[in-house]
Structure 1
Amino acid sequence: MEVAGEKTQLLVLSQNPRDAADCHIRVAGQLVEGGAELKLLGVTLDRTLGFGAHCRSLRRRVRPRTAQLRRLTGRSWGLKEQQLRAVANGYVRGALEHAAAAWLPATSKTNVELLDREMRAAARVVTGCIRSAPHHGVMAEAGILPVSARRPALAARMMAKAAALPPEDPLHQLAMDDPPRRLKLITGWREVGREVLRELRVELPVEPLLPKRPPPWTPSGPITFNVGIGALPAGAANSTKREAALQHLASLTQCAIWAWTDGSASGGVLRGGAGALVIGADDSRTELRIPAGTLCSSFRAEMVALQKTLEHIIENESGTDPVIICTDSMSAVAALREGPSAQRSARGATVWQLLRKASAGDRPVTLQWVPSHCGIPGNEAADTLANEAAALAQEDVPLDVETIYRAAVRTARDRAARERPSYPDPEHKAATGWYRELMGTGYPPPISNMDRTSAIDVHQIRTGRWSGSAQFLHEIGRNPSVDCPQCRSLGCIAARCRLCGEEADTPRHILLTCPGMMGVRLRTQAIGNILPTPEEVRRSDAVAALVAAFRALQSH
Structure 2
Amino acid sequence: MTVYFSRGYKLIRPLKLSGTTWGADYNVQKTLYTGRIRPVLEYGMAAWGTAAKSSLDRASKIQNQASRIITGAMRSTPIQAMETLTGLEALESRRDTKTLLQYAKYKRMQAHPMHERTSMPTKCRLKRESFLHQARRLERRDPDLMEQATAPISIPTTLPTWKRKEFPEICTTVPGILQKQVQSEAERKALTLEYISQTYPNEEWTHAYTDGSAEKATRNGGGGILICRKDAAPIKKSIATGKFSTNYKAEAEALKEAAGVLKNSLMLPGDTICRKIVIFSDALSVLQALSNPQNQDVSELATALTTLQQSTEKTVIQWIPSHCNIQGNEEADRLAKEGGKLPQENQQVTFGEAKTIVKEKQRKRWLQQHPQYNPRDSYYQLSRKDQVIIVRLRTGHCRLRHHMFSKFHIGDTPVCHCGIADMTVEHLLQHCPIHQKLRAETWSADTPVQEKIFGTLQSLRCTTDFIRSSGVPV
Please classify the TM superposition score into its range, dividing by the shorter chain length. Answer: 0.7 to 0.9
2:275 partner SS? coil
Matched, 1:85 2:30: yes
The answer to whether the Cα contact below 8 Å between 1:221 and 1:364 also exists between their aligned partners in 2 is: no
Matched, 1:496 2:444: no
Find 1:401's aligned residue among 334, 342, 354.
Answer: 354
Sort the Cα spacing of 1:413 and 1:259 in 2 relative to 1 into closer, same or farther, 3 A: same
User: For each residue in 1:289-315, what CA deviation from the matched residue of structure 2 results, as whole angstroms up to 9, or x when unmatched?
Assistant: 233456655444323322332343345
Find the counterpart in structure 2 of residue 42 from structure 1: none
Amino acid at match of 1:195: R
Shift of 1:116: 0.8
Sort the Cα spacing of 1:141 and 1:358 in 2 relative to 1 into closer, same or farther, 3 A: same
User: TM (normalized to structure 2)?
Assistant: 0.81
Q: Structure 1: where are the runs of 5+ without partners?
A: 1-53, 418-440, 477-485
Matched, 1:461 2:393: yes
Sort the Cα spacing of 1:233 and 1:178 in 2 relative to 1 into closer, same or farther, 3 A: closer
Find 1:191's aligned residue among 133, 139, 156.
Answer: 133
Question: Which structure has the highest helix share of the two?
Answer: 2
Counterparts of 1:233 and 1:140 in 2: how far apart (Å)? 29
Shift of 1:281: 7.1
Matched, 1:245 2:192: yes
Sort the Cα spacing of 1:512 and 1:177 in 2 relative to 1 into closer, same or farther, 3 A: farther
The answer to whether the Cα contact below 8 Å between 2:214 and 2:340 also exists between their aligned partners in 1 is: yes
User: For each residue in 1:247-275, what CA deviation from the matched residue of structure 2 results, as whole angstroms up to 9, or x when unmatched?
Assistant: 32223264444320112345656654321
Task: Tell which deviates more after alignment, 140-149 or 310-319.
Answer: 310-319
Matched, 1:129 2:73: yes
Find the counterpart in structure 1 of residue 271 from structure 2: none
Equivalent runs, 1:16-415 vs 2, <5 Å: 54=1, 56-71=2-17, 73=18, 78-104=23-49, 106-165=50-109, 167-181=110-124, 183-202=125-144, 203-209=147-153, 212-214=156-158, 219-231=164-176, 235-250=182-197, 251-252=199-200, 254=202, 255-266=204-215, 271-279=220-228, 283=232, 285-292=234-241, 298-314=247-263, 317-318=266-267, 321-337=275-291, 339-341=292-294, 343=295, 346-360=296-310, 363-394=313-344, 396-399=346-349, 400-414=353-367
Counterparts of 2:322 and 2:300 in 1: how far apart (Å)? 25
1:159 partner SS? helix
Amino acid at match of 1:130: M
Find 1:538's aligned residue among 449, 454, 468.
Answer: 454
Sort the Cα spacing of 1:392 and 1:187 in 2 relative to 1 into closer, same or farther, 3 A: farther
The answer to whether the Cα contact below 8 Å between 2:453 and 2:463 also exists between their aligned partners in 1 is: no
Counterparts of 1:269 and 1:149 in 2: how far apart (Å)? 19
Shift of 1:473: 5.2
Counterparts of 1:442 and 1:292 in 2: how far apart (Å)? 34
Counterparts of 1:259 and 1:159 in 2: how far apart (Å)? 40
Shift of 1:118: 0.9
Sort the Cα spacing of 1:200 and 1:122 in 2 relative to 1 into closer, same or farther, 3 A: same
2:170 partner SS? strand
Amino acid at match of 2:193: L
The answer to whether the Cα contact below 8 Å between 1:155 and 1:190 also exists between their aligned partners in 2 is: no
Sort the Cα spacing of 1:331 and 1:204 in 2 relative to 1 into closer, same or farther, 3 A: closer
The answer to whether the Cα contact below 8 Å between 1:220 and 1:356 also exists between their aligned partners in 2 is: no
Find the counterpart in structure 2 of residue 29 from structure 1: none
Counterparts of 2:300 and 2:331 in 1: how far apart (Å)? 25
User: Which structure is richer in relative contact order (CA contacts within 8 A, separation 6 or more)?
Assistant: 2
Counterparts of 1:309 and 1:453 in 2: how far apart (Å)? 54
Aligned identity (percent) is 21
The answer to whether the Cα contact below 8 Å between 1:157 and 1:405 also exists between their aligned partners in 2 is: yes
Shift of 1:488: 5.4
Amino acid at match of 1:188: S
1:177 partner SS? coil
The answer to whether the Cα contact below 8 Å between 1:221 and 1:363 also exists between their aligned partners in 2 is: no
Shift of 1:101: 1.5
2:150 partner SS? coil
User: For each residue in 1:53-110, what CA deviation from the matched residue of structure 2 results, as whole angstroms up to 9, or x when unmatched?
Assistant: x3x2321121110113323x36787444223212212322211111212331x22222
Sort the Cα spacing of 1:329 and 1:155 in 2 relative to 1 into closer, same or farther, 3 A: same
Find 1:487's aligned residue among 398, 402, 409.
Answer: 409
Number of equivalenced pairs: 453
Find the counterpart in structure 2 of residue 442 from structure 1: 372
Counterparts of 2:388 and 2:287 in 1: how far apart (Å)? 38
Task: Tell which deviates more after alignment, 247-256 or 294-303.
Answer: 294-303
User: For each residue in 1:509-555, what CA deviation from the matched residue of structure 2 results, as whole angstroms up to 9, or x when unmatched?
Assistant: 44676575799599769xx75445x5884347344532431332347
Shift of 1:136: 1.9
Shift of 1:117: 0.6
Sort the Cα spacing of 1:304 and 1:148 in 2 relative to 1 into closer, same or farther, 3 A: same
Counterparts of 2:341 and 2:452 in 1: how far apart (Å)? 35
Amino acid at match of 2:454: R
Q: Structure 2: where are the runs of 5+ without partners?
A: 269-273
Counterparts of 1:299 and 1:519 in 2: how far apart (Å)? 53
Counterparts of 2:369 and 2:440 in 1: how far apart (Å)? 31
Find 1:552's aligned residue among 441, 445, 469.
Answer: 469
Counterparts of 1:244 and 1:378 in 2: how far apart (Å)? 15
2:278 partner SS? strand
Counterparts of 1:66 and 1:80 in 2: how far apart (Å)? 15
Counterparts of 1:521 and 1:276 in 2: how far apart (Å)? 59
Sort the Cα spacing of 1:142 and 1:304 in 2 relative to 1 into closer, same or farther, 3 A: same
Sort the Cα spacing of 1:550 and 1:262 in 2 relative to 1 into closer, same or farther, 3 A: same
The answer to whether the Cα contact below 8 Å between 1:275 and 1:389 also exists between their aligned partners in 2 is: yes
Counterparts of 1:334 and 1:77 in 2: how far apart (Å)? 40
Amino acid at match of 1:244: L
Task: Tell which deviates more after alignment, 318-327 or 146-155.
Answer: 318-327
The answer to whether the Cα contact below 8 Å between 1:100 and 1:154 also exists between their aligned partners in 2 is: yes
